[in-house]
Structure 1
């Protein structure tokens, strides 16, 4: 209690300005560590059959506060027929704001450092997805808009320094001590570990940077940051440089191998944690208009480096960016981005679709341009299951529906896992006993089948280990066995899923005849 009073007195100015640049040294002394906090049950418990705990930190210990987010929670929490679902939404929807805004500096050039949860580093992909449920609230919440704009600026600064890297240390001006990933990686181009947490080149990270900028512009109509931000245009130039470098073929016309500018090697006993062929990865045929990705969004190495979900994602984001750059007065760049996106999209359809002997025409997970194909899906986004969510294809598309049937079949997807306690898509990152709740949340948002949605939502609800938060993965045979109690990305995905159902299928949450809830 004394520590809390001290926090209130000394931190009051910061809190009144909506939790901007937090006194983290003081917070560490006065507020519980959320890694530990998230593993214990806190009251009051829900009135549902699962008696789920209330897992939000006390108001004074939340890392950012949004009036609009609180309004949405208050609008919905008493409408749910299932009070356990209500409690999950109340815990999960604000979790990124409650717990992961490690540093935020407002102003004309704001900065926001948003960690993924229990790891003190920012993944570009994760932070974009973590913020995505709040995008539609930006117009009516100026501090929240500053947070999102700060995230764009910080990501741009990261990519200005090292566009090949996926996870970053706190910005130097935050004065937050960097942490080590405890690896001795040999990476080209070299990087400074004081600035970079990990340097796995993942194409979807670049797409995620564009995604956040595009969503911010769509929600606010504000394109001024493109020209005002000192890092943004340099980040765009670096992004295009990477796309050009990673579109190259492995061999020239004379059969000589062309060494990739990016290489990655790690001393490890896990084959998914390093790249073959002296860090270059398996060969690709560059005459495909596809872009290589050394790693997947799971941070696992690709087998065949034309990773189709990321190529689909970057194709759509490049095309969407045309509106942003036209609004910013950069029409030539806008047209170039759109053309690049169209070319990659064409490559996905030409090289990323094949005839499966059981399921018909389907999307491959990875290809190499030589005819090599990997058929599978991983729970991490972007995935093949999530293609409609990224806007690449309508969910009713025949090729997508064939692919979906393949991905949700134990005979079609080696990482579709089913057990007595849980079922869903997993991946090699955790192993063949653990499915990820994230995969079921994507399943729900890409389904129009009420029975399928209800079944998936029930599974997700019952596999929180009694803690009322989403986890990274869950043992399909023993749901009390899970990984990562504090995984903000998946908490945001749950919030996004509930808001999708509230707008699209309100009767499943609020009862027959319920009106759609739109934010």
Structure 2
């Protein structure tokens, strides 16, 4: 009777199993696991003996959605070297959060599949899932379970893009037998989509770049390009990506000045301006001969104002060029050359049309342009961003244009979404509003900085603004840090894990103490 009562109190936590063959038996066992959406809003013991007394926020091992001995080894090795017990606890909670809580369905074997939700929303964003999995890529060299999980994610993303390449967020695959959910919106979208397959269909250029990014990272870490030809969806998805790029390279007017209807249309009944597109869903006009690609929405899922969104163009340029090695190794040399050429063309367009002379900061990158000379001058915390350009591989962090841009972005006078209050500071964006900065922006700041003082201050600020819950949040009120959005946001938890690993390798004294030796997950994975 006690056991039954406990099950009723804890509720249902229907996470899937690492094996489709035993999925149903796991569902029965998982009925005793708490819903992590609720679990993440409460403090759990043991708490640290540090000044923040941060709780332990991992589910018990039986309730974790995926397990990796190599990930556990990294956690033990890193936390064992961090003297700051609160910082150590944050890494312990955040680094494995994607594996612990968001692997809703995974089929291992020769044709693996993986469905990775973003956290408190039961859908997979291609961008989010790529970033969520990225900290574990180096371990794919030595951990076959991680390798299979990521290969499965590549397959599932490819399947999504085979059927709906304009869409950004997807329902569980039908074969998972997981119930789809609704976003409770009434959208008019062209091309049309099947709501049983698609959760939301906002066309975001960075989403397509993220698909390439995951495949490129996997190949670079493992040397395995066999999936290019063997995966039943990968090449078809890649062709669809290129078709979307071609369609979104077409501008509002042709060479004769005649207007043409955009292939992609999105209209939503809403009272929020960033949730729909102007001009009957086509978006504001773009001009000819820029070599840039339109993006209807930003990685925040907010509508672009000017559709040549520079961070996403920079990102897709890098990933197209990077994919040359993957495609060549997979036996597709002609396509490899085509992708590299496309990437070079877009890269040139970014430098030609996405850089302008600011009256205060000098030559800087614009956030959005339209090819007519109009510029949106800002940055948003969501990745890709202008602040993250070095992390994308588009530019060196020491580049003069980037440094000028960085000074602008981290200034209230230069960036309307740089927010600073008595309890928090960072870059936010229109998605939440002008009182909420995103911890993700400070994690990006840290990984693009070489200044120990700047890094230490940002890390301390992030550490102190988890609302006492020991997890990263989507955004934090700069005036009152315990006011935050999303207690379960796996993408940002992964970004925190990557940030600590970056500092452990690059500036070990800032996390391990003076005189500490560096720790590299890459070298550990290659051992």
Aligned counterpart for 1:512 among listed residues 511, 514, 521: 514
Tell me, what secondary structure is at the counterpart of 2:389? coil
Whether 1:453 aligns to 2:455 is yes
1:29: Cα distance to partner?
A: 1.9
Distance in 1 (alpha carbons) for counterparts of 2:126 and 2:333: 27
Tell me, what secondary structure is at the counterpart of 2:77? helix
Whether 1:323 aligns to 2:306 is no
Contact 1:88/1:468 (<8 A) preserved = yes
Partner residue of 1:242? 244
Partner residue of 1:265? 267
Contact 1:179/1:197 (<8 A) preserved = yes
1:23: Cα distance to partner?
A: 5.0
1:26: Cα distance to partner?
A: 2.5
Whether 1:407 aligns to 2:373 is no
Partner residue of 2:306? 304
Describe how 1:76-225 pairs up with structure 2 within 5 A.
76-225=78-227
Aligned counterpart for 1:497 among listed residues 490, 496, 499: 499
Aligned counterpart for 2:229 among listed residues 224, 227, 230: 227
Describe how 1:42-57 pairs up with structure 2 within 5 A.
42-57=44-59
Tell me, what secondary structure is at the counterpart of 2:221? helix
The C-alpha deviation readout for 1:322-380, integer Å capped at 9, x for no partner, is 00011011100000000000000000000000000000000000000000000100000
Partner residue of 1:313? 315
Partner residue of 2:392? 390
1:259: Cα distance to partner?
A: 0.3
Q: Quick check: 387-396 or 21-30, which moved more? A: 21-30
Distance in 2 (alpha carbons) for counterparts of 1:341 and 1:292: 15
1:119: Cα distance to partner?
A: 0.1
Describe how 1:29-68 pairs up with structure 2 within 5 A.
29-68=31-70
Contact 1:18/1:143 (<8 A) preserved = no
Contact 2:284/2:306 (<8 A) preserved = yes
Contact 2:424/2:461 (<8 A) preserved = yes
Whether 1:423 aligns to 2:425 is yes
**RMSD of aligned alpha carbons:** 1.7
Partner residue of 2:276? 274
1:81: Cα distance to partner?
A: 1.9
The C-alpha deviation readout for 1:142-192, integer Å capped at 9, x for no partner, is 011000000000000000000000000000000101000000000000001
Aligned counterpart for 1:71 among listed residues 65, 70, 73: 73
Partner residue of 1:10? none
Partner residue of 1:444? 446
The C-alpha deviation readout for 1:274-301, integer Å capped at 9, x for no partner, is 0000000000013100000000000000
Tell me, what secondary structure is at the counterpart of 2:98? helix
Contact 1:18/1:64 (<8 A) preserved = no
Tell me, what secondary structure is at the counterpart of 1:474? strand
1:255: Cα distance to partner?
A: 1.9
Distance in 2 (alpha carbons) for counterparts of 1:216 and 1:23: 31
The C-alpha deviation readout for 1:196-215, integer Å capped at 9, x for no partner, is 00000000000000000000
Q: Quick check: 253-262 or 387-396, which moved more? A: 253-262
1:46: Cα distance to partner?
A: 1.0
Tell me, what secondary structure is at the counterpart of 1:30? coil
Q: Quick check: 45-54 or 22-31, which moved more? A: 22-31
Q: Quick check: 296-305 or 104-113, which moved more? A: 104-113
Q: Which runs of 5+ in 2 are unaligned?
A: 8-15, 522-527
1:47: Cα distance to partner?
A: 1.8
1:30: Cα distance to partner?
A: 1.2
Contact 1:4/1:30 (<8 A) preserved = no
1:477: Cα distance to partner?
A: 0.1
The C-alpha deviation readout for 1:54-106, integer Å capped at 9, x for no partner, is 00000000000011100000111121121100000000000000000000011
Q: 1:457 to 1:224 in 2, by over 3 A?
A: same
TM-score normalised to the size of structure 1? 0.97
Tell me, what secondary structure is at the counterpart of 1:388? helix
Distance in 2 (alpha carbons) for counterparts of 1:215 and 1:89: 23
Tell me, what secondary structure is at the counterpart of 2:119? coil
Q: 1:16 to 1:388 in 2, by over 3 A?
A: closer
Partner residue of 1:368? 370
Length, aligned pairs only = 512
Distance in 2 (alpha carbons) for counterparts of 1:496 and 1:371: 37
Partner residue of 2:13? none
Partner residue of 1:462? 464
Contact 2:17/2:106 (<8 A) preserved = no
Partner residue of 2:525? none
Tell me, what secondary structure is at the counterpart of 1:417? strand
Contact 2:365/2:401 (<8 A) preserved = yes
Distance in 2 (alpha carbons) for counterparts of 1:302 and 1:27: 45
1:3: Cα distance to partner?
A: 7.0
Tell me, what secondary structure is at the counterpart of 1:113? strand
